[in-house]
Structure 1
C-alpha cells in the first residue's frame, strides 16, 4: 500500500524520529508536520495539547495517511488513547517504545526520565515502565529550557552546555542511576552534551529507533507495507518560521538525506 505515513510533533524535535524512520523504512513515503508556531507544548494545558494535536492530525488525514506516528511525548501522553479510539488507522506514540528500550538497557532497575512539564506531570513514563517491570525505580525531571533552546537551533556550544548542566543538576546526586530516557524528541539533538553531563556510566535512551521498529512491525502485521520499488520524496510541513526550520532540518539530515525532503509551510489553526 503506497499511501504515506504521517508524523506529527510540536516542533523540530520529531525530525529525529523521522530521520530514523527514513533509515529503517526506505520504501515508505513520510509526511511530517511540526507545529513550530505554537511550540513548546510542555507548559500548555491538556486541553490545549489535545486541540492542537487534533488540528495536526486533521491536516494529515487530508493527505490520506495509512498510519500515524505521534513523535511528541507530551502529545502522546495526552492524546494517544483518544486518537486510537477515534481513528481507523494505526496510531503509534513514542512513550511505550522508549520505555521498552530503557528496560532492555538498565542493569540495576534505576531509570531517570527527562521531559517537558506536561510529559512529567502526566506520569506516562513511570506508568509505562512499571507496567513492564513493577520493580523499576523511576526519577523524573522536567527540563523547561531545553525545547525553546533547540527550537532556536542551539544544540552545542557554551550556552547549550551551561543550560544542560544547570537543568540536570538534580540528577547528579542520584548515585544508582544507570539509564536515562530522553522523554522528548527534541532532546536527542542535545544528546552529546547530556551524555557528557550525566557521565559514561549512564546509558542515554532515545525512543527514535524503537519507534521506527514498532512502526515497521505494525506495517507488517496490518499488511500496510509499500512493496513498490520507488524511492520516496518525503514532505515536511512547519507552521512557524520556515527559514529557521529549514536551517535546523539541514543540520539534522546530512549525508544527502536533506535532498530527499520537500519542506513547506502549513496553516492548521482552527477557530
Structure 2
C-alpha cells in the first residue's frame, strides 16, 4: 500500500452508526487543528449482533473506503469491530496506523479503579469476544471482570431515546441481573463498552448505586491517537481549525436529527454525504 505521510490528510473514524461520534467529539476537542472524515455504516447497523466473520467483512470494507479517500490514521470507533477485526485491519492496511477503542478503554478503567470489580456493558459481539476481559486481566490478573450484553441500548441511542422513565426502566431491567453477580465492595466500575452508550450516561447514573464509577473512555482513545500521531510525526501543524466531513451509508435524515446528541452540540448542523461501500473480501478472513 502506498501510504503518504502528509500531515494535512484527515484522520479517518468509522463506526457501525452514530456511536463513534462520541469518540469524534473527544478527538475534535483534543485535536482541534486536525481534519477528520467520519463514516457511519448505518446501512449495516448494528454490528454487535452479527457474526465475527461478518463484522470483519463490514469493518474491512468501511475502512478501505476511508483509506481510499486518503487518510493518515484510522480510528475504529466501534467496540465490536475493535474486539474482532482490529488485527485484520492492522495487517491489511499497514502501514496506515490503526487504533481501536478496547486497549485505551481498559487502561483508563484500571487507572480510575486500581482495585475492585469491573462490569463491562457492551454488544453481544463484544461480549462474545471477551476482548475486555482478556485485555484487563493481562494488566491486572486477579481482577473480577464481568462482560454483559446490552445490544438493545444501541437501538435506543440510535433512535434518540436518551432519557426519561421508560429508558431508565429498560436500563434498570437490563443491569439488575448484572449487579446480582458482582461482588459488592466499597467501589466498582461500570465500563461503557460501546461508543453508543455515553449518550445514555445520565440515565444509567440514575439507576446504579453511588459506589459505581462510570467509565466513558472517549478521551482515552483521543489521547492514544495524539500519542500515535506524535510518534509518527503526523500531527497537523496548521493553526486554523480542521474540517470535518461526515459520510453515511443510509439514513441521512436520522443522522442529521440524532447525531448532534452524540456530538454534544444540539446547535450543530450535520450535512452527511450518502456513500455506497464496495464489497471486497479481506485477505485475512
Q: TM-score, normalised by structure 1?
A: 0.95
Verify: 1:70 aligned to 2:76, yes or no: yes
Verify: 1:167 aligned to 2:177, yes or no: no
Superposed CA deviations along residues 204-235 of structure 1, whole A, max 9, x for unmatched, are 11120100000001000000000011222201
Given candidates 118, 122, 131, the residue that maps to 2:125 is 118
Given candidates 270, 275, 281, the residue that maps to 1:266 is 275
SS in 1 for 2:268: helix
How far has the Cα of 1:262 moved from its partner? 4.2
Q: Give unpaired runs (5+ residues) of structure 1.
A: none
SS in 1 for 2:39: strand
Larger deviation: 105-114 or 35-44? 105-114
Given candidates 195, 200, 214, the residue that maps to 1:190 is 200
Map of 1:139 onto structure 2: 146
Change (3 A) 1:230 1:179: same
User: In 1, distance between residues paired with 2:264 and 2:107?
Assistant: 28
Map of 1:242 onto structure 2: 252
Given candidates 13, 21, 43, the residue that maps to 1:15 is 21
Larger deviation: 241-250 or 2-11? 241-250
Map of 1:206 onto structure 2: 216
SS in 1 for 2:190: strand
Map of 1:28 onto structure 2: 34
Map of 2:48 onto structure 1: 42
User: In 2, distance between residues paired with 1:258 and 1:79?
Assistant: 32
Given candidates 229, 234, 237, the residue that maps to 1:227 is 237
Map of 2:115 onto structure 1: 108
Given candidates 154, 160, 170, the residue that maps to 1:153 is 160
Larger deviation: 45-54 or 155-164? 155-164
Does structure 2 retain, via aligned residues, the 8 Å contact 1:74–1:118?
A: yes
Map of 2:100 onto structure 1: 93
User: In 2, distance between residues paired with 1:256 and 1:147?
Assistant: 20
Superposed CA deviations along residues 63-100 of structure 1, whole A, max 9, x for unmatched, are 21000000000000111111112221110000001100
Superposed CA deviations along residues 172-220 of structure 1, whole A, max 9, x for unmatched, are 3232361111000001111111122122211111120100000001000
User: In 2, distance between residues paired with 1:95 and 1:180?
Assistant: 14
Does structure 1 retain, via aligned residues, the 8 Å contact 2:116–2:143?
A: yes
Q: Give unpaired runs (5+ residues) of structure 2.
A: 1-6, 281-285
User: In 1, distance between residues paired with 2:265 and 2:248?
Assistant: 22
Map of 1:6 onto structure 2: 12
SS in 1 for 2:8: coil
Change (3 A) 1:255 1:152: closer
Does structure 2 retain, via aligned residues, the 8 Å contact 1:234–1:262?
A: no
